[in-house]
Amino acid sequence: MVPGIHRPAAVYVNLAAIKHNLKEEQKQLKPGQKLFAVIKANAYGHGAVKVAQAAIEVGVDGFCVAILDEALELRQAGIKAPILVLGVTPTQYVSLAVSHDISLTVPDLAWLKEANKELTGEDNELKIHLAVDSGMGRIGFSEDQDFLAANDFLLDNHHFNVEGMYTHFASADSSDDSYFTKQVECFNHFKGLLKLKPKWIHADNTAASQFHQQVESDIVRFGIGTYGLNPSSNPASQDLPVRFKLEPALSFESELVQVHTVHKNQGISYGSTYVTDSDQIIGTVPVGYADGFIRKFQGFTVKVGDEYCPIIGRICMDQLMVRLPHEMPVGTKVILISNNPQAPNDIKAAADYVDTIHYEVACLLDDRLPRIYYEK
Ligand SMILES: *Cc1c(COP(=O)(O)O)cnc(C)c1O
């Protein structure tokens, strides 16, 4: 996808906010605890390389990504810090991980045995973290036998450096901690089975580090908090209080490219789902669902100049229309998603409006939107 640099639409990312969030989280760390910024999916849409560089400036200890390619992107950009791939990497690529000093997740014994076949040669040593499925049902060991056999397998094998063991919580962001507690117990059980001594045993995501300080975790895998967003912000539950002020880093901005008066009884956009009930001033904004601003945003309120205006009619692939309260010049700024958490069009309000979570709204913003970085 070619970024649209000749159109007035972009995702703006405040790197000062990202650094602030990371520095505040560093202050919360327990002695010896490490901070890994989770920058999978292009840093939740914020741009992985720039976010990584900002994170290095404030001294984070490492990074987590979802897939091997994301780790390679960071290495190519000159990032030397530890990088853990959280997803399952096909074993045919383990040598590539070794040659770039990238740590991989082990989901089960079968993966380990297949990976071993690829690691011929004396100094072919793969750094691994054993994943434990304590209740996500996603990846990791869930049977004692398999886990014990993997420990035995690793004890007399020199192709693996067991750096870590970890689990992931399904509901660390919920005020009801019964399922969370069950997961902690399950993870503790697996810790008890260990025959090896991994350097880092870790469980914390942003939510666990914010809301469950009692849990032991040698690494905090800090994702959504890096971007200044409260992990508990989902429509189904009330926000839990975070331990410091998070600063949202991302805004999505464009401009009016046309302003014109549409007469009474005229339809706006495909299907004429909106029909003017009077003469109205319509502004056209050159972004649409192809940018990841999905059709469900029809009716959402965005900021045009100093006014909040509704999106009317269906959102097109590349354009959308807003109803203006008065004439405004072409070139007037349009803030589709604000980085001000109090604004009616902040990312949480946007996510609520389309029945999803802010993680998804940020990730959906497409590569056609250039990322513009600033510090303020
Ligand atoms: C995405 C992810 C994280 C980060 O979660 P946040 O809620 O964004 O802090 C941590 N660990 C794993 C395994 C993940 O997949």
Give the CA distances from residue 219 to residues 62, 118, 145, 187, 200, in Å, rounded to whole numbers and listed in that order: 9, 29, 26, 15, 7
Question: What is the span of the domain harbouring residue 322?
Answer: 250-338
Distance from C-alpha of 142 to C-alpha of 64, rounded to nearest angstrom: 22
Residues 160 and 287 in one domain: no
Q: Which residues contact 205 (CB under 8 A, 6 or more apart)?
A: 38, 168, 169, 172, 220, 221, 222, 223, 231
Classified as helix, coil or strand, 128 is: strand
Task: Indicate whether 4 belongs to any domain.
Answer: no
Which atom of ligand 1 lies at the shortest distance from residue 224's CA?
8
Q: What is the pTM of this model?
A: 0.97
DSSP state of 227: G
Residues 113 and 163 in one domain: yes
Joined together, the tokens standing for residue 200 give 């880092």
CATH code, 206: 3.20.20.10
Residues 254 and 223 in one domain: no
Active site residue 303: no
Distance from C-alpha of 228 to C-alpha of 331, rounded to nearest angstrom: 29
Task: Give the domain-ending residue among 227, 242, 274.
Answer: 227
Distance from C-alpha of 263 to C-alpha of 271, rounded to nearest angstrom: 17
Q: Which residues contact 161 (CB under 8 A, 6 or more apart)?
A: 125, 126, 127, 128
Name the domain count of the chain: 2
Ligand 1 centroid, distance to 33 Cα (angstroms): 17
Residues 223 and 254 in one domain: no
Distance from C-alpha of 38 to C-alpha of 52, rounded to nearest angstrom: 9
Residues 142 and 213 in one domain: yes
Classified as helix, coil or strand, 260 is: strand
Joined together, the tokens standing for residue 220 give 């905090």
Query: Which residues are annotated binding-site positions for substrate?
Result: 138, 317
Ligand 1 centroid, distance to 223 Cα (angstroms): 5
Residues 72 and 221 in one domain: yes
Task: Indicate whether 1 belongs to any domain.
Answer: no
Residues 316 and 184 in one domain: no
Task: Indicate whether 311 belongs to any domain.
Answer: yes
Task: Indicate whether 308 belongs to any domain.
Answer: yes
Task: Indicate whether 352 belongs to any domain.
Answer: no
Atom 1 of ligand 1 has which residue's CA nearest to it?
223
pLDDT the model gives residue 160: 97
Q: Which residues approach ligand 1 with their CB closer than 6 A?
A: 38, 40, 86, 168, 205-207, 221-225, 231
CATH code, 303: 2.40.37.10
Task: Indicate whether 358 belongs to any domain.
Answer: no
Residues 83 and 193 in one domain: yes
Residues 182 and 306 in one domain: no
pLDDT the model gives residue 240: 87
Q: How many CB atoms lie within 10 A of CB 164?
A: 22
Residues 221 and 254 in one domain: no
Distance from C-alpha of 227 to C-alpha of 225, rounded to nearest angstrom: 5
Residues 188 and 272 in one domain: no
Phi (first) and psi of residue 321, to 5 degrees: -120, 145
- Which residue of 84, 173, 221, 232 sits with most ligand 1 atoms within 8 Å of its CB, as the best mutation to test the pocket? 221
* pLDDT one digit per residue (tens) for the chain, 376 residues: 899 999 999 999 999 999 999 999 999 999 999 999 999 999 999 999 999 999 999 999 999 999 999 999 999 999 999 999 999 999 999 999 999 999 999 999 999 999 999 998 777 899 999 999 999 999 999 999 999 999 999 998 999 999 999 999 999 998 889 999 999 999 999 999 999 999 999 999 999 999 999 999 999 999 999 999 999 876 656 688 899 999 999 999 999 999 999 999 999 999 999 999 999 999 999 999 999 999 999 999 999 999 999 999 999 999 999 999 999 999 999 999 999 999 999 999 999 999 999 999 999 999 999 999 999 9
> How far apart, in Å, do the first and last CA atoms of the chain sit?
29
Task: Give the domain-ending residue among 338, 355, 370.
Answer: 338
Task: Indicate whether 374 belongs to any domain.
Answer: no
Active site residue 44: no
Ligand 1 centroid, distance to 346 Cα (angstroms): 22
Atom 15 of ligand 1 has which residue's CA nearest to it?
86
Residues 220 and 276 in one domain: no
Task: Indicate whether 357 belongs to any domain.
Answer: no
Where b means 16+ CB within 10 Å and e means fewer, 239-262 reads ebebeeebbbbbbbbbbbbebeeb
